[in-house]
Amino acid sequence: MNNRFDLILFDLDGTLIETAPEIADAVNDTLEAFDRPSISQQQVNHWIGHGTRALLISALAFTDKSTTEAVRKSASFSRIEAAFGVHYQKRCGTRSHLYPHVREALQTLHDRGVKLAVVTNKEQRYTQAVLDAHQLTPLFARVISGDTFPLKKPDPMGVHDCLHHFLIRGERALFVGDSSIDVATARNAGVAVWALPYGYNMGQPIERAHPDRVITDFSALIA
């Protein structure tokens, strides 16, 4: 069959997998260990998008009534971040789940010979843990995380790297995401972008980001 796209790049959090509940658990485990009050699920949902490290910094700035800049520079941050890493590894896979039709769509596209990649702002160690927890790793030919390159989304570096790696032109590639960051990334890279309305997008409706299409779920990718 003639594939519409030769390469499809996927965002991770809020697109492939609902990850926010266990991220909130790991953040709250960490806050508790460092004598801070807990934060709500909704706050976590709104902070997703710029990487898990940035989310932890936002949570600490909120609980400490401080700024993200001050948290980043504080002497205790590296210890807190290390503890968070341990908590997140433990929580990974406990309360995350794939959104409807994700596994069957990925498997079908893979079997049709479409190259599949992940381009996420989540740091590499967390990206790998989540993909492994859901047995998704073998389906992806390339995984670009927030710390793979010096710049993360919405910079097009990760998308361009995949296009070059697979020798695929931008017109033959599609980005699938849930946020305005993903739409901006695709625009910056010169590839089409379809969006899911069920993700995080900092609490805003995805239509406002003007993707090329809003799709209800992953079944649209194999229709």
Q: Is residue 48 a contact point for ligand PGA (CB under 6 A)?
A: yes
Residue 57 binding ligand PGA, by CB under 6 A: no
Q: How many residues bind ligand PGA (CB under 6 A)?
A: 13
- Catalytic site residue 11? yes
- Does 12 sit near ligand PGA (CB under 6 A)? yes
* 50 contributes a contact to ligand PGA by CB under 6 A: yes
Q: How far is the CB of 122 from ligand PGA (least distance, A)?
A: 4
Rounded Cα gap, residues 108 and 111, in angstroms: 5
Most distant CA pair in the chain: distance in Å? 58
Report residue 117 as tokens.
């990649």
* Position 115 contacts ligand PGA (CB under 6 A): no
- Which residue among 6, 11, 147, 182 is the active-site one? 11
Contact 20, 13 (CB under 8 A): yes
Q: In the range 123-162, which residues lie near ligand PGA by CB under 6 A?
A: none
Residue given tokens 């069957």 in the structure block: 104
Task: Name the token pair of 166.
Answer: 């697979």
Among 31, 45, 49, 102, binds ligand PGA (CB under 6 A): 49
What one-letter code names the amino acid at 100? P
Sign for the CA dihedral angle at 57, 61, 40, 185 comes to negative
Among 22, 51, 154, 173, binds ligand PGA (CB under 6 A): 51
